[in-house]
């Protein structure tokens, strides 16, 4: 399978190089063509425009600097939309605002193409070593955020039904152990600490024997008081 890549900044260049090292055929494009040279030396080919890359490749990835660049690559003359069609996919790894992502998604899918938004967590070194965390979502939203637990717990939480599958007091205990491990290894865990406080608050409300999803009552209480 041939993969296209649009945008060869620090991140895009590193990701493209990893694709080449792992045996993918890669066609690249960048506004400044000289940035393609190193990748060409490692076996990549160069597309004359984003549209040309889309035409040649089944899947094309974009890693652009900002929302304006992400939109330009898709909508301008010679852009992605000119060649996207059924059977082809576009993955936008740029970090952009919600409105930009929705606009690109609607344009791609209206032409029959498939779209994934896939911003990354990490910088140059994780990109070079293939260790970026990809936060992906698409038409069926099958990523970690759309896991079966959310689908199962969501409806019961909205009904304030907290029949215990895993007691909240045990979840808070697990959070406490995780934080202690972090302290032992000098690792800061602010999100886990905030979650632990929410579970402690839920226990103080007498919800310890309910399902751990009963922590939602704390969230509702905060919303009412704000």
For residue 26, give the H/E element and its range.
strand 25-29
Nearest to 209 by CA among 174, 170, 158: 170
First to last CA, the chain: 52
Q: pLDDT tens across 55-65, in order?
A: 999 999 999 98
pLDDT score recorded for residue 146: 62
Residue 154 has pLDDT above 60, yes or no: yes
Average pLDDT, the chain: 90
CA separation, residue 96 to residues 36, 61, 67, 100 (Å): 24, 14, 5, 6
3-state secondary structure 61-92: EECCCCHHHHHHHHHCCCCHHHCCCCCCEEEE
Q: Give the model's confidence band at 151: pLDDT under 50 very low, under 70 low, under 90 confident, else very high.
A: confident
97 vs 198, residue with greater confidence: 198
Six-digit token string for 15 = 């990701």
């Amino acid at each position: 399978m041939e993969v296209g890549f649009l945008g060869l900044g620090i991140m895009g260049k590193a990701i493209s190089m990893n694709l080449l090292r792992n045996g993918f055929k890669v066609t690249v494009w960048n506004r400044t063509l000289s940035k393609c040279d190193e990748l060409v030396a490692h076996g990549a080919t160069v597309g004359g425009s984003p549209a040309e890359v889309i035409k040649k490749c089944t899947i094309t990835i974009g890693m652009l600097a900002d929302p304006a660049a992400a939109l330009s690559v898709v909508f301008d003359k010679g852009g992605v939309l000119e060649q996207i069609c059924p059977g082809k996919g576009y993955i936008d790894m740029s970090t952009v605002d919600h409105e930009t992502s929705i606009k690109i998604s609607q344009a791609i899918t209206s032409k029959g193409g498939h779209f994934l938004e896939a911003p990354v967590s990490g910088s140059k070194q994780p990109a070079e070593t293939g260790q970026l965390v990809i936060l992906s979502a698409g038409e069926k939203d099958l990523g970690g955020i759309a896991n079966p637990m959310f689908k199962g717990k969501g409806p019961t939480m909205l009904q304030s039904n907290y029949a215990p599958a895993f007691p909240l007091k045990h979840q808070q205990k697990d959070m406490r152990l995780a934080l202690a491990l972090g302290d032992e290894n000098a690792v800061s865990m602010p999100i886990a600490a905030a979650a632990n406080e929410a579970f402690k608050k839920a226990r103080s409300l007498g919800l310890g024997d309910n399902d751990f999803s009963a922590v939602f009552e704390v969230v509702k209480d905060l919303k009412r008081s704000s």
